[in-house]
Structure 1
Amino acid sequence: MSGESKEHKNNRMESKTVDLVGMFFRILERFWIVLVCAVICGILAENSVTTYSATSKLYIVNKDSSGVNIADLQLGTALTLDYQEVFKTWEVYKMVTEELDLLYSYQQMQSMLTISNPEDTRILYITVTHPDAKMAADIANSYAKAAKIFIANTMEGVEPSDFSVAMEPSVGNGASAVIGFVGGGVLAVAILAILFVLDNRPRSPESIQQYGGIPTLSVFPANKNKRHAGKFTSEKKKTAAKKPERSGNCLEISNFQPLDYVCHEAMNTLCTNLSYCGKDIRKIMITSRYAGEGKSYIAMNLLCTLSQLGKKTVLVDADLRASGIQSDYRLRYSTQNHYGLSEYLSGICSLKEAVYQTDWPNTYMIPAGHEAPNPLQLLDTQAMGDLIEQLAGQFDVVLIDTPPVGILVDAVALAKFCDGALLVVGYCKGKQQEIKDAVESIKQTGCKVLGAVLNGVKFNSMSNRHYYYSSERYAGHYNKRYYTSKEKKQ
């Protein structure tokens, strides 16, 4: 037990270190935000209002005494606190404003004024802060003069002595551009760091393992390679023209783009890891938490790759509400009826009419068909379970593309008919806690969660290079060789 707890502790420490590294690269990746904030704060600081502070001083000792004795010192100390209240009186305020012909209110004058008494002294510091340097000195000296008059006429006490007259200050108290620049940069870095810590989206296989308790079978980059789609389509048409005509229901996948080297290797990794799950894993459902995480993309490319590996594979499009396969891949039917899964489960057509042979070798598909009013009533039936069992007897692998498990219960209803589930997790989409919720929902049906696919990772992002450095490093080199060899063959 002690060895295991120590190992878990080391893993947690390692995870924290990786998060700190990721935070550093995330801030470095967004350095332009830090620079913009620093420049803006520097400009604001430079254009801010500069204030000036002037101080006059009063000495609380009897000026009539020829020397300072113990009694004078004790009296001065006792009167210091009393004299501080003098500057808060309305009479002193009126004397100052009338002498200098000021239009400031009592509250405005008090906000400019600060009275202090250094420890163990009998000196009053009268400090006035004002945007005008000369006015600051004039107000401070006027306050000292008015206080002396008020004390002599009203308090009948010891009149303070002038200790120091306020001089016009030459240096203001405004923030400099350098301080604003540095302060703005530090503030931007702090905000970016806080946002990174509060970011609860899945970014790595470690976060999926931590929250979902399942391994990541493969990591797919963001698919931005569209420049070779036309060449691939023409190549496919040439190859298809040489093939003999197929009998029965046929389906052409007219909008399928080839994988680049990194995606191709990621798919090979996925197929290899799926083979390690066991020979009895043949009915595999592919789902996600939300729409747009790429489950249909993974399902279609897995269908293509398995066929290239010599496995007779069928894909069942069970997303009867909003099929991404039918809309994204432009399926072209050889029949006019366009029958699919919804028609078969409704009893409108036979299984033979719902199964289509695609223009890829060893691949078949049951499309979703027309939209059903209540798909759950069709999917959560024994007929659906019998269909999957029948397909498992005819094909090496049965792939079921289901609706998102985090939104609809359709996928949970289909899970009990499958040997295993593959959860597609979109990079930086949703919350990590929702991975755990999706896994638990599937496991409650008795279906095994084989693992996850992290899809849409930006390998060229600076904050991801410490995670996926090797893949990003070799991607450009092998992509160039991969497409060069293809172009030579054509």
Structure 2
Amino acid sequence: MDLHEYLRILSRNWILIAATALVGILIGGAASVLAKPVYTSETQLFVAIQSSGSVQELQQGNTFSQARVQSYVKTVESPIVLQPVVDALGLPLTADELATRVTATTDLNTVLINIAVNDTSPVQAAAIAQATADSLVKAVDTLEKPKAGGESPVSLSIIKPAIAPTSPSAPNTRLNLLFGLLAGLGIGLGSAVLRSTLDNRVRSEADLRRVTDAPLLGGISFDQDATKRPLLTQASPQSPRAESFRQLRTNLQFANVAGSANTLLITSSLPGEGKSTTATNLAIACAQAGQSVCLVDADLRRPMVNDYLGLERNVGLTTALLGTADVNDIIQPWGDDNLYVLASGRIPPNPSELLGSDEMRQLILRLESVFDIVILDAPPLLPVTDAAVLSQHVGGVVVVVGSQKLRQNDLEKSLTALELVGAKVLGIVLNRLPSKGPDAYRYGYYSHDMEPTRKQSRKMNGRSEVFVPRSADRANDVVGH
């Protein structure tokens, strides 16, 4: 992944990352509050060699002292030094347990020994540090004393007595908070990358390109009001949603530059991706541009076009295919543009056979000869074969992809199914794109303040319909024999 992809992951998962960072800070703060304060008391000793004071003896003594200091540092944590401390102070500890609280160090090329003691009591920390220094002086004097008798050639002196600290050395609240923040950020970033790696849903054009090189004809942003007001005529003319369908209409004209595909099949991989609303609104957009459009509800399993447009469904495509009525008598005009709708008709027991029949092919050819563009709303590709069968009768197929809903492998299966039957895929429409965030699809230079144009409303079969009445005989003049 490149830097741009990582930035997209951060944008998609910023809430997760911020939440884990906050949890890390809270844990760090809780650890600081709940931890018992620890106090550190320090003392320092100076190592000297007994000599007569000549220059040569002083140089030799200094070299000897530096060599011996490392041994004395190790001796501090031994029982020979700490056991007398335990006995003198009456500590409820063993020498080994006390050694975990005592730290002895020395600076390079010096004869100074630093002793630090940690304890929950500042007074006791100072007492143990002072007692340890005193015990070390006695232990070194004993160890360095010649066997033949006489004084030890090494002398240790306490140059910095231990005092009780006024503030605890631990816990370090700032350090704990910083560590919690870094740990939380690390966990959040790791979780975000893992989540993005395992999530193979189509969210944007970048995800789409991992599956296909088919043109992206347009993106339609998700609108909460679309569930109640799905039609293009119910939205503001300057709204991003309305502009999305006009852009789709324009891009389809470029995709069909040869003019061979004036019959479009709109389908999707799975139900619920918005193919019916896309087909309906695309038909409205084309009609608003002055084209004569016929919208055919070819979803003979779950027809939805009649619900969106408020039209009669009992007579329609299946009626025409069975020869019960002529298409001139059942096609329905809608709106005040040249838009005509052929509803689905009654749901048959054999949709695939009807859609793949010669009667269906002849009906499409008949509609093509009259209308500028024919748009068919077909069932989804994966659950049934209707769309794949019907795609052989049309000039081009547009696949609607529900953003954040469809997985990449399902889209790949759908496109493979179309490829196997030799269908011409004109492109992809990304639907339900978020209006904000890294995957947003919007037109920021259009106004959102205009109210949608309200057309004359009437009731048909108990449903409200946005419809401008036409003369009853106009539909009969549309489709010729």
Q: What band does the TM-score fall into relative to the shorter chain?
A: 0.5 to 0.7
How many Å apart are 1:70 and its aligned residue? 3.6
* 1:314 Cα offset (Å): 0.8
- 2:39–2:169 contact (8 Å) kept in structure 1: yes
Q: List runs of 5+ in structure 2 lacking aligned partners.
A: 147-153, 369-373, 458-466, 469-481
Matched position secondary structure for 1:218:
strand
Distance 1:350 1:141 in 2: 107
Q: Distance in 1 between matches of 2:226 and 2:355?
A: 40
Please tell me whether residue 423 in structure 1 is matched to residue 402 in structure 2.
Answer: no
Match of 2:432 in 1: 456
Q: Shift of residue 271 of structure 1? A: 2.2
Is 2:343 aligned against 1:365?
yes
1:403 equivalenced with 2:391 (yes/no):
no
Q: SS where residue 167 of structure 1 aligns?
A: coil
Please show how residues 205-216 of structure 1 align to structure 2 within 5 Å. Answer: 205=205, 207-209=207-209, 212-216=212-216
| Cα deviation 1:35-55 (Å, max 9, x = unaligned) | 956974685476364433322
Instruction: State yes or no: 1:222 paired with 2:202.
Output: no
Note closer, same or farther for the CA distance 1:270–1:132 as it changes in structure 2 (3 Å cut): same
Cα distance in 1 between the residues matched to 2:303 and 2:87:
82
Q: Are the aligned partners of 1:340 and 1:354 in contact in 2 as well (CA < 8 Å)?
A: no
Counterpart Cα distance in 1 of 2:249 and 2:220: 13
| Residue equivalent to 2:282 | 302
Residue in structure 1 matched with residue 43 of structure 2 by the alignment: 56
1:45 and 1:180 in contact (8 A); partners too: yes
Matches within 5 A, 1:28-43: 40=26, 43=29
CA separation in 2, counterparts of 1:104 and 1:330?
Answer: 87
Q: 1:72 to 1:138 in 2, by over 3 A?
A: same
Question: Matches of 1:324 and 1:94 in 2, distance apart?
Answer: 91
* Structure with larger Rg: 2
What residue identity is the alignment partner of 2:361?
Answer: E
The amino acid of 2:111's aligned partner reads: R
Answer whether contact 2:78 2:99 (CA < 8 A) is retained: no
Deviation at 1:90, TM superposition (A): 4.4
Offset from partner CA, 1:218-245 (integer Å, 9 cap, x none): 221212126975xx9xxxxxxxxxxxxx
**How is 1:161-240 mapped onto 2 (pairs within 5 angstroms)?**
161-174=157-170, 199=196, 202-205=202-205, 207-209=207-209, 212-225=212-225, 229=229
Q: Distance in 2 between matches of 1:82 and 1:474?
A: 81
Q: How far apart are the structure 1 equivalents of 2:390 and 2:94?
A: 77
The answer to whether the 8 Å contact 1:282/1:392 transfers is no
d(CA) in 2 for partners of 1:187, 1:484: 56
Matches of 2:360 and 2:397 in 1, distance apart? 14
How much has 1:363 moved relative to structure 2?
0.8
Question: Quick one: distance in 2 between partners of 1:188 and 1:387?
Answer: 65
Q: Which residue of 1 aligns with 2:293?
A: 311
1:277 to 2:249 alignment: no
Distance 1:227 1:287 in 2: 19
Which one-letter code corresponds to 2:299 in the other structure? Answer: D
Question: Aligned pair in 2 of structure 1 residues 142, 331: CA closer, same or farther (>3 Å)?
Answer: farther
- 2:475 aligned residue: none
Are the equivalent residues in 2 in contact too, given 1:286–1:423 (CA < 8 A)?
Answer: yes
Alignment of 1:266 with 2:262, yes or no, is no
Aligned pair in 2 of structure 1 residues 368, 81: CA closer, same or farther (>3 Å)?
A: farther
1:281-320, Cα deviation, whole Å (9 max, x unpaired): 24544344554432333234334445554212212116x4
Alpha-carbon distance in structure 1 between the residues aligned to 2:287 and 2:398: 18
Residue in structure 1 matched with residue 127 of structure 2 by the alignment? 138
Query: Alignment partner of 1:369: what SS?
Result: coil
Report the AA paired with residue 394 of structure 1: R
Deviations, residues 389-446 of structure 1 (Å, cap 9, x unaligned):
23422334242433254x7777666655654332323334456676566545543443
> CA 1:134/1:473 → structure 2, altered by over 3 Å: closer, same or farther?
farther
More helix by percentage: 1
CA distance, structure 1, for counterparts of residue 107 and residue 62 of structure 2: 15
Distance apart, 1:120 and its partner CA: 1.4
Given candidates 17, 26, 33, the residue that maps to 1:47 is 33
The one-letter code sitting in structure 1 at the alignment partner of 2:89 is L
Tell me, which stretches of 5 or more residues in structure 1 are unaligned? 1-11, 233-254
CA shift, 1:265, in A, is 2.1
The whole-number CA distance in structure 1 between the counterparts of 2:408 and 2:135 is 69
How many residues in Structure 1 have an aligned counterpart in Structure 2? 427
Distance 1:259 1:39 in 2: 46
Name the structure 1 match of 2:61.
Answer: 72
What CA deviation, in whole Å up to 9, does each residue of 1:146-193 have, x standing for no partner? 444444556768564434322222343346666666666666666666
Distance 1:32 1:24, change over 3 A: closer
Tell me the distance in 1 between the aligned counterparts of 2:293 and 2:303.
Answer: 24
* Correspondences of 1:288-367 after superposition (within 5 Å): 288-306=268-286, 309-317=291-299, 320=301, 323=302, 325=304, 335=314, 350=322, 352=324, 357=331, 360=334, 362-366=340-344
**Alpha-carbon separation, structure 2, partners of 1:423 and 1:55:** 76
Q: Decide whether the 8 Å contact of 2:283 with 2:375 is kept in 1.
A: no
Q: Distance in 2 between matches of 1:328 and 1:106?
A: 87
Within-5 A mapping of 1:371-450: 379=352, 384=356, 386=358, 388-396=360-368, 397-403=374-380, 405=382, 418-429=394-405, 438-440=414-416, 442-450=418-426
Contact 2:106 2:113 in 1 (8 A): yes
The CA deviation string for residues 351-375 of structure 1, in whole angstroms up to 9 with x for no partner, is 65899756735111336937x7xx9
- Counterpart CA distance in 1 for 2:91 and 2:343 is 89
Give the residue type in structure 2 aligned to 1:276.
F
Root-mean-square deviation (Å)? 5.0
Give % identity: 20
Mean CA deviation greater in 350-359 or 271-280: 350-359
One-letter amino acid of the structure 1 residue matched with residue 379 of structure 2: T
Q: Please tell me the residue identity of whatever aligns with 2:244.
A: A
Q: Taking structure 2 as the reference length, what is the TM-score of the superposition?
A: 0.67
